[in-house]
A and B are shown apart, each in its own frame.
Chain A
Amino acid sequence: MKVYADNAATTKISDTAFNAMLPYFKEMYGNPSSLYTLGQKSQEALCSARETMAKYLNCDMKEITFTSGGSEADNQAILTGAYLGEKQGKKHIISSAFEHHAVLHTLKKLEKQGFEVTLLPVHEDGFVRPEELKDAIRSDTALVTIMYANNEIGTVQPIRELGAVCREKGVLFHTDAVQAAGHIKIDVKADNINMLSMSAHKFHGPKGVGMLYAKKGINLYTLIEGGAQERGKRAGTENVPAIMGMAAAFEESCKNLEKNFEYVKGLRDKVAAELSKIPHSKINGDITKGLAGTLNMCFEGIEGESLLLLLDDRGISASSGSACTSGSLDPSHVLLSLGLPHEVAHGSLRISLSEYNNEEDVAHIIKNVPEVVAYLRSMSPVWKDLTEGKKQYVIQ
Chain B
Amino acid sequence: MLYSEKVMDHFRNPRNLGTIDDADAIGEVGNAKCGDIMKMYLKIKDGIITDVKFNTFGCGSAIATSSMATEMIKGKPVTEALKLSNKAVVEALDGLPAHKIHCSVLAEEAVKAALFDYYQKHPELEKPEGLSDCAACSGGCCSCH
Contact = CB atoms under 8 A, between A and B. Distances in A.
Contacts of B102: 329
B35 to A, nearest CB: 4
A168 interface: no
Nearest to B98: A327
Q: Is the interface of A mostly helix, strand, loop or mixed?
A: helix
Contacts of B74: none
A346 B37 CA distance: 12
Q: Using C-beta atoms within 8 Å of the partner chain, give the interface range for chain A.
A: 20 to 34
Contact of B57 (A301, A310, A341): A301
Interface stretch (A6-14, A22-30, A286-294, A378-386): A378-386
Interface string B41-84: 00000000000000111111111000000000000000000000
Given A302-B57, A313-B12, A324-B103, A381 B38 contact: yes
Contacts of B34: 323, 329, 342
Contacts of B56: 379-381
Q: How large is the interface on B (under 10, 10 to 19, 20 to 34, 35 or more residues)?
A: 20 to 34
A342 B31 CA distance: 10
Contact of B60 (A302, A306, A343, A379): A306
A309 interface: yes
Contacts of B103: 324
B35 A346 contact: yes
A304 B59 CA distance: 7
Given A306-B11, A324-B103, A381-B28, A343 B59 contact: no
A330 to B, nearest CB: 9
A361 interface: no
Given A342-B32, A381-B37, A305 B60 contact: yes
A382 B32 contact: yes
Nearest to B18: A379
A346 B32 contact: yes
Contacts of B63: 306, 379
Interface in A177-217: none
A188 to B, nearest CB: 40
Nearest to B12: A313
A302 B100 CA distance: 18
Interface in A287-331: 301-306, 309-310, 313, 322-325, 327, 329, 331
